Amino acid sequence: MFFCNKKGFFNFFHYLCNAIHDFNCITNQYPHMKRLATALTLACLTMTAAAQETYRIPVSEEHEPMQQGKYEPTWQSLETHQTPEWFRNAKFGIWAHWGAQCVEGSGDWMAREMYMEGNNKYKYHVEHYGHPSEFGYKDILPLFKAERWQPDSLVARYKRCGAQYFFVLGNHHDNYDLWDSKYQPWNSKNIGPKRDILDEWAKAAKKAGLPLGISFHADHAWTWFEPSQRYDLEGDKAGIYYDGNLTKNDGKGKWWEGMDPQMLYQQNHPMSKGSWDNGAIHGQWAWGGGACPPSREFVTNFYDRTLDAINRYQPDLIYFDVTVLPFYPLSDAGLKIAAHLYNKNPRGVVFGKILSDSQRKALTWDVERGAPNEIIDEPWQTCNCIGDWHYNTRTYERGYKSAENMVKQLVDIVSKNGNLLLNIPLRADGTYDEKAAAFLDELEAWMTQNGESIFGTRPWVRFGEGPVADKDIKMRAQGFNEGQYNGMDCRDIRFNQTKRHLYATPMGWPSDGKIIITSLAKGNKYMKKRISSVYLLGHGKLKAVQTDAGLEVTLPKPCNKIAPVLRIDK
């Protein structure tokens, strides 16, 4: 038929619109036909809008109905939601990106890379646990014990470091739910800790008075776990398939008897194009480039699980490690999840990556490990980590990012209307190591002294000055440009403000104690008021002189280990 597919559908309405345009011209001569022309036009627009909201894999609401309310699962409706003021004021959150993939201590994506012959994670797994045809990721799950995990004390510690919201992992690409999941038997209540991790985290956040965020990543398990369908190409095990294709019938007499491994691995489908190319998945993250399309059953299962967690634990924020929204543009699942949260919680925040300008009105833009080098009108967030996303002993040995580095990134991000969500890696037992402890000590010291220049602030007329501020810094995909911001020093100054004060933060202490802020030179166009004194947080008032070169300030000996913060009355 003429419109048997979506392209044909749009072509049909393109011709129909042209015909109606011609018909409207005729009604100028025959006014009595204008009512019919108007009706046809409205019908055309309605049908076109319906076509644009038609998705290849519509999600089922049979088990978990979307919360009804002000917001509909369309971009036009979601654009009316505003990122709440509490989030704009918060500026800083801490994330416990923690789960069963921390067991081996080999870092992020270990559940995928343990199936990649020759990979370091594969070698480590074979040496310490066995071949993935005999001991797969499913067999790692019971080893995740969380035996020293104390959520109350961890969240309290993060709050002392300045966290204004707290994020937890709901599931990762490994498809293992960290709660007593109704729709995924491979969960932390059934296997591993035998605890409802989300429930305990949520109660700890509530006790500390912090908004709760949950991140959901399992929508990509479909393609992410495809290496589990492979086999070795070399060695004694060559040609022996890994455990990714096992079924419930294979479990007789095993510890997992009665469980279906396909509920975990989700590999009952053909491999994606180029699946044996370990890097191909990155070009297929938005479900293009030859990615095997997910089944409606899989999409609906993710939708059901996400709504189950939202309904139980009442998060204020949800995060997806995806392009735009889960399964977009194949399915309406992500739009329905966003509408569900907004209708349940008007102060809710939903994050998305690689968003268009219009999509940033509906979702809060998230940038991974980086930042734009300009002020962004809509509130946004950077997600980052002091090491690897999942605990990595090699990263620990090399050393984490310094508190100095991350505080400078925070100041830079805040000056551009952004927030920083920072992951502190936890070991499988639920504790952080001594290097992470030292990081938190330094972070707490600086934030205690200078937090007033961060929380509740807004961008000034310009975000900063200095060599890095003047650079043309581009982002790669969803971010990944943080290296461009390394090495900022006292010449780089960042600004932000409240109604009463302007804050200027040089990115380091000058060796000679002299700071010149060129943006505040005598007669500058940004701040007409004459400035005669400034206040150094953690110290007191300082004398300042405005010259044609800039506002010249002489600093005392450093009163913190990272960076001075100058407060100027407006």
Tell me phi and psi for residue 86, to 5 degrees.
Answer: -60, -35
Residue 175 near residue 264 (C-beta atoms within 8 A): yes
Neighbours of 104 (CB within 10 A): 23
Question: Cα(345)–Cα(339) distance, rounded to whole angstroms?
Answer: 10
Residue 443 near residue 407 (C-beta atoms within 8 A): yes
Any idea which residue has 């050393």 for tokens?
Answer: 399
Residue 174 near residue 129 (C-beta atoms within 8 A): no
Numbers of helices and strands, H then E, in the chain: 17, 16
Distances (CA, A) of 401 to 13, 195, 210, 474: 55, 32, 25, 22
Task: List the pLDDT tens digit at each of the 570 positions of the chain.
Answer: 333 343 343 333 333 333 433 333 333 333 344 344 334 333 443 333 344 468 999 999 999 999 999 999 999 999 999 999 999 999 999 999 999 999 999 999 999 999 999 999 999 999 999 999 999 999 999 999 999 999 999 999 999 999 999 999 999 999 999 999 999 999 999 999 999 999 999 999 999 999 999 999 999 999 999 999 999 999 999 999 999 999 999 999 999 999 999 999 999 999 999 999 999 999 999 999 999 999 999 999 999 999 999 999 999 999 999 999 999 999 999 999 999 999 999 999 999 999 999 999 999 999 999 999 999 999 999 999 999 999 999 999 999 999 999 999 999 999 999 999 999 999 999 999 999 999 999 999 999 999 999 999 999 999 999 999 999 999 888 899 999 999 899 999 999 999 999 999 999 999 999 999 999 999 999 998 899 889 999 999 999 999 999 999 999 999 999 999 999 999
Neighbours of 255 (CB within 10 A): 10
Q: pLDDT tens digits for 66-89? A: 999 999 999 999 999 999 999 999
Instruction: Give the alpha-carbon dihedral of 41, 43, 48, 54, to 10 degrees.
Output: 170
Tell me phi and psi for residue 25, to 5 degrees.
Answer: -65, -35
Question: Cα(185)–Cα(407) distance, rounded to whole angstroms?
Answer: 41
From the number of C-beta atoms within 10 Å of its C-beta (0-12, 13-18, 19+), residue 300 rates as: buried
Tell me phi and psi for residue 542, to 5 degrees.
Answer: -130, 155
Q: What are the residues whose beta carbons fall under 8 Å from the beta carbon of 277, sequence distance 6 or more?
A: none
Model pTM greater than 0.75?
yes
The letter for the amino acid at 59 is: V
Q: Are strands 464-465 and 418-423 parallel, antiparallel or unpaired?
A: unpaired
Q: pLDDT tens digits for 362-420? A: 999 999 999 999 999 999 999 999 999 999 999 999 999 999 999 999 999 999 999 99
The token duo for 398 is 């090399």
Q: pLDDT tens digits for 165-223? A: 999 999 999 999 999 999 999 999 999 999 999 999 999 999 999 999 999 999 999 99
Q: Is 482 helix (H, G, I), strand (E, B) or coil?
A: helix
Question: Cα(109)–Cα(389) distance, rounded to whole angstroms?
Answer: 9
- DSSP 8-state code for residue 455: T
